[in-house]
Amino acid sequence: MSSIQRQIRFESDRDPGFADEIRAMPGCELIDRCIQCATCSGVCPVSTYMELTPRRIIELTRNGFKQDVLNANTIWICTSCYECQVECPKEIGITDVMYALKTKAIQAGVEPKHLGPPVLFKEFYNMVRKTGRMSETQLAVRSFIKSNPMQMWGMKWLGLRLLKTGRFSVKLEHMPKPSVLHTALDHADRIDGRRAK
């Protein structure tokens, strides 16, 4: 039996430091300018699938409602098409905010473990960090295994079509010298909006 929950938010539910961290990330500095006009949600091709519209994500983020923001499916649905960002009348980097939130969710380990996008992102990340390049088939297979193995069966025809047109490759691509990239990326800063020590 589902119990009735209080929907109220107290000041103690807010994490203002979280809002500051997001503000400090590239493209996210203008979130306080938002007038909640909702253009972002109106123009977003996938806002119809989101639990919280992009407009609400901005409002919740700048107020520090970290849990609400990171637990909504919104950030994983975002296709990163930048429609919201270029149409925003206040020139807020909404897509950049979505990216920032995705990294925060993965850092915090609260991303949905079997939802396609976060699984794909992490597989992609690991593969590119290792080989320097992305191998489409390998990536698809690995992602499906971790998110939705059953779906792979549905893709068999697609695989066949690609095979027939010579566009299917199971080879793991890599840079001629991936080692230089390993070192290079190890030396990049973590840009996560936290103040450097």
Partner 1 sequence: MDDKTIGNGSEEVRIGFFICHCGSNIAGTIDVEAVADYVRTLPNVVVSSDYKYTCSVAGQDMIVEDILKYKLNRVVVAACSPLLHEKTFRAATQRGGINPFFFHMVNIREHGSWVHQDRALATQKAMDMARGAIARVKFHKALEKRREPVRQSVLVVGGGIAGIHAALTMANAGKKVYLVEREPTIGGHMAMFDKTFPTLDCAACILTPKMSEVGSHPNIVLWSYSEVTEIKGYVGNYDVTVKRKPRYIKEDLCVGCLDCIDHCVFKTGNTDDEFNQNLSKRKPVYIPFAQAVPRLVAIDPAACTHLNGGKCEQSCATACDRQAIDFEQKETFEHIGVGAVIVATGFKPFDAHRKPLYGYGRFPDVYTALEVERLVCSSGPTGGDVVLKDGSKPKSVGIIHCVGSRDHQTNRWCSRVCCMYSLKLAHLLKEHTDAEIYNFYIDIRTPGKGYEEFYERLQEEGNHFIRGRVGDITDVPIIPEEEGRMIVRVEDSLAGFVRRIPVDMVVLATGLEPREDASEIRRRFNISCSSEGFFLERHPKLAPVSTTTDGVFLAGCCQGPKDIPDTVAQAGAAAAESLVLLDVGYVEMEPMTAFVTEKYCSGCKTCLPLCPFSAISRDEEKGVAVINPVLCKGCGTCVAACPSGAITQNLFEDRQIFAEIEELLVHA
Partner 2 sequence: MKYSYFPGCSLKATGRAYEESFLSLCKALDMEMEELENWNCCGATSFMSVEMGAAYALTIRNLAIAEKAGLDMVAPCGGCYGILLKADHYYKKYPTVHESAVKSLKTEGLEYKGTVRVRHPLDVLASDLPPRALRSKVKKPLKGLKVACYYGCRFVRPIAPFDDMHNPETMDLLLKTVGARIVDYTMKGKCCGGAMSGAMPNVAQEMTYLILRAAERAEADVVATACPLCQFNLEAYQDEIRAAHPDLKPIPVVYFTQLLGVALGLDATATALNRQIVPVEPILREKGILADEKKQPATAGV
Helix (H), strand (E) at residue 90:
none
- DSSP SS3 for 32: helix
Tell which positions 13-72 bind partner 1, by CB under 8 A: 35-44, 47-48, 53, 55-56
Tell which positions 69-128 bind partner 1, by CB under 8 A: 83, 87, 89-91
Residue 34 Cβ vs partner 2, minimum distance, rounded to whole Å: 17
Tokens 């609260």 correspond to what residue? Answer: 110
32/136 with CB nearer partner 2? 136
Tell me the C-alpha distance between 173 and 52, whole Å.
38
Work out what residue 63 binds among partner 2, partner 1, none; the CB cut-off runs from 5 to 8 Å by kind: none
14/115 with CB nearer partner 2? 115
Q: Are 73 and 115 in contact (CB under 8 A)?
A: yes
Work out what residue 14 binds among partner 2, partner 1, none; the CB cut-off runs from 5 to 8 Å by kind: none
Work out what residue 100 binds among partner 2, partner 1, none; the CB cut-off runs from 5 to 8 Å by kind: partner 2
Residues 6+ apart with CB under 8 A from 119: 113, 143, 146, 147
9/107 with CB nearer partner 2? 107
Both tokens of 64, joined, read 């520090």
